[in-house]
Amino acid sequence: MTNTHALIIEDDINSAKVLAHLLARQGIESIIVTDTEQLEGQVNETPDLVFIDLEMPRMDGYEVLTELRGIQHYNEIPIVASSVHTGEIHRVRDAGFTSFIGKPLAKDIFPGQLARILSGENVWEI
């Protein structure tokens, strides 16, 4: 998966680093945004996929999704919710996320989940 880039929007730096590490193991570079106020400076770039935590200060993941979907070049990008709030999976789907992966991320199944998402499949796994 060379030249694949991900945007990680996650307020918990440890969770963001774990996700970035798992992505790097699959050859995917990532940019981490831990504060949604810094998001504006990152959205001009077009990543191949986006991971968003649902519970963050200032803007929650649903608000971030709305902001991103309002930017034309983000309309075709897979936007994945990643959260410990697995009970939100139906709300996530209804909100327009492409996929949902529950936390903690499982390093043994994450590569398969990632490959399916990048191939255009919607993944809904808690």
Question: What would the pLDDT profile of 96-123 be if each residue is shown by its tens digit?
Answer: 999 999 999 999 999 999 999 999 999 9
Q: Give the span between the Cα atoms of 33 and 118, in whole angstroms.
A: 21
Residue 37: the pLDDT is 84
Residues contacting residue 82 through CB under 8 Å, at least 6 positions apart? 10, 19, 51, 52, 53, 100, 101, 102, 103, 105
Mean pLDDT of the chain: 93
Grade residue 44 by pLDDT with cuts at 50, 70 and 90.
low
Q: Give the span between the Cα atoms of 30 and 14, in whole angstroms.
A: 14
Residues contacting residue 87 through CB under 8 Å, at least 6 positions apart? none
Query: Which sign, positive or negative, has the C-alpha torsion 12, 79, 68, 83?
Result: negative
Residue 86: the pLDDT is 94
The mean pLDDT of 13-37, rounded to a whole number, is 95
4: left (phi over 0), alpha (psi -120 to 50) or beta: beta
CA geometry: angle 17, 59, 15, nearest 5 deg: 15
Residue 39: the pLDDT is 78
Q: Give the span between the Cα atoms of 6 and 27, in whole angstroms.
A: 11
| pLDDT higher than 70, residue 64 | yes
Grade residue 18 by pLDDT with cuts at 50, 70 and 90.
very high
Where do the domains of the chain lie, and which CATH numbers do they carry? 12-47+61-84+96-125 (3.40.50.2300)
List the single range of 25-34, 35-44, 53-62 with lowest mean pLDDT: 35-44
Residue 2: the pLDDT is 59
